[in-house]
């Protein structure tokens, strides 16, 4: 907590927000859920410290489905960023995770922040992986308009 509080002070001085990212238990032994990250952020109490949603980690660690997590945590103001990725470590659309309900929940909760596509498997290469993921997300967005 002391380290994150110090980071929050530096982030505040720089005019940015630092997001504590809950990761799966396979990646770390601490801060595995949004609830754990939110408790830390709340305890520190700095507007420059927030948490985020990583769909890959949430998909394997959280008990609640991701759209329910969004509906629960987004209204708290503690979510500052979203990573679109599949639990299989690929980009959205390259695995079993359905992003339609995720994007619907973000829209329903009026999320206006940034989201990033964050795969860890780049096949056949990075640009092709990025283009495929972007097309998938944009395709969902177009069907909802």
Among candidate residues 102, 85, 100, 113, the one with its CA nearest the CA of residue 144: 100
Spot the catalytic one: 21, 35, 36, 64. Answer: 21
Is 35 considered catalytic here? no
CA 60 centroid distance within chain: 13
Is 108 considered catalytic here? no
Spot the catalytic one: 35, 36, 64, 118. Answer: 118
Residue numbers annotated as active site: 21, 118
């Amino acid at each position: 907590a002391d380290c994150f509080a110090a980071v929050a002070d530096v982030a505040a001085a720089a005019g940015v927000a630092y997001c504590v990212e809950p990761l799966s238990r396979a990646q770390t032994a601490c801060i595995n859920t949004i609830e754990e990250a939110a408790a830390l952020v709340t305890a520190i109490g700095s507007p420059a410290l927030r948490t985020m949603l990583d769909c890959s980690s949430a998909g394997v660690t959280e008990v609640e489905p991701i759209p329910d997590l969004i509906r629960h945590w987004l209204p708290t103001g503690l979510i500052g960023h979203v990573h679109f990725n599949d639990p299989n470590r690929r980009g959205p659309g390259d695995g079993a995770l359905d992003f339609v309900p995720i994007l619907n929940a973000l829209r329903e909760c009026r999320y206006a922040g940034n989201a990033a596509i964050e795969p860890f498997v780049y096949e056949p290469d990075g640009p092709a992986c990025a283009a495929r993921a972007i097309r998938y997300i944009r395709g969902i967005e177009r069907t909802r308009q």
